[in-house]
Chains A and B, each alone.
Chain A
Amino acid sequence: QSVLTQPPSASGTPGQRVTISCSGSSSNIGSNYVYWYQQLPGTAPKLLIYRNNQRPSGVPDRFSGSKSGTSASLAISGLRSEDEADYYCAAWDDSLSGPWVFGGGTKLTVL
């Protein structure tokens, strides 16, 4: 059972906009930044979004992040086949669960 809750799966068709949610609590998302990672099959995770909504250089602006209260979302617009991957949210946690926690991951399928 992950501290941060994500839907196990999401899907969309090419060109569509999809969102992936991440639900936490006051000790993690509610009081700290949220980060998102993309894991392509057979590879190590890659930082996609940091500090709620910042993109590292090289990450397309099709990817965006937002946070409200104890929840966060990752949005992918103009969906492409190469976006098919697992996506994980993460945050620092000030409770006994921490200090760093991941969500359970969401498998995105491009139909």
Chain B
Amino acid sequence: QVQLQESGPGLVKPSETLSLTCTVSGGSISSYYWSWIRQPPGKGLEWIGYIYYSGSTNYNPSLKSRVTISVDTSKNQFSLKLSSVTAADTAVYYCARHFPLDYLDVWGKGTTVTVSS
């Protein structure tokens, strides 16, 4: 059964770049979209963007100028970079499998990222 695990620094300084990686185990990264979603403390879910295993991407328009999602099929991993972070980017970040034009089904447990000096 497919499992996802987020990894990366838990603390990022303002104006720097947040970098996270999601490792897919128990299945192949091929044939699916792979999404990043975040949840600020006490708030709702915000979809950040997804990448297809082939490398094509689509981002939330509100974050598009700062987001880059990439994939490494050889490692069964995909990654998130969010530049010029501020305190408003403090959140739990989730990675998830996204069926093309359908649902998010498998989610990682999430990783907390705090933006602070």
The listed residue with most B CB atoms (<10 A of its CB), out of A43, A44, A90, is: A44
> Please, what's the 1-or-0 string for A18-37, where 1 marks a CB less than 8 Å from any CB in chain B?
00000000000000010101
Chain B residues whose CB sits within 8 angstroms of the CB of A103 once the complex forms: 44
Chain A residues whose CB sits within 8 angstroms of the CB of B58 once the complex forms: 99
Is the CB–CB distance between A92 and B101 below 8 Å?
yes
B109 at the interface (CB under 8 A from A): yes
B35 at the interface (CB under 8 A from A): yes
Please list 13 pairs of residues, one from A and one from B, whose beta carbons are closer than 8 Å in the complex, sorted by A's number: A37-B45, A44-B94, A45-B104, A47-B103, A51-B103, A86-B44, A90-B45, A96-B61, A97-B61, A100-B47, A100-B50, A102-B37, A102-B47
**Measured between alpha carbons, how far is A103 from B37 in the docked complex, in Å?**
13
Q: How far is the CB of B78 from chain A (nearest CB, A)?
A: 16
Is the CB–CB distance between A51 and B102 below 8 Å?
yes
Chain B residues bordering chain A, tally (CB within 8 A): 20
Name B residues whose Cβ lies closer than 8 Å to a Cβ of A. 35, 37, 44-47, 50, 58, 61, 94, 98, 101-105, 107-110
Residue of A nearest to B106 (CB): A47
Chain A residues bordering chain B, tally (CB within 8 A): 26
Chain B residues whose CB sits within 8 angstroms of the CB of A43 once the complex forms: 109
Is the CB–CB distance between B61 and A102 below 8 Å?
no
A88 at the interface (CB under 8 A from B): yes
Name A residues whose Cβ lies closer than 8 Å to a Cβ of B. 2, 33, 35, 37, 39, 43-47, 50-51, 56, 86, 88, 90, 92, 96-97, 99-105
Is the CB–CB distance between A50 and B103 below 8 Å?
yes
Is the CB–CB distance between B44 and A2 below 8 Å?
yes
Chain A residues whose CB sits within 8 angstroms of the CB of B105 once the complex forms: 47, 56
Is the CB–CB distance between B45 and A102 below 8 Å?
yes
Which 9 A/B pairs are nearest by Cβ-Cβ distance? A105-B44, A44-B107, A50-B103, A102-B45, A100-B47, A104-B44, A35-B103, A47-B105, A44-B110
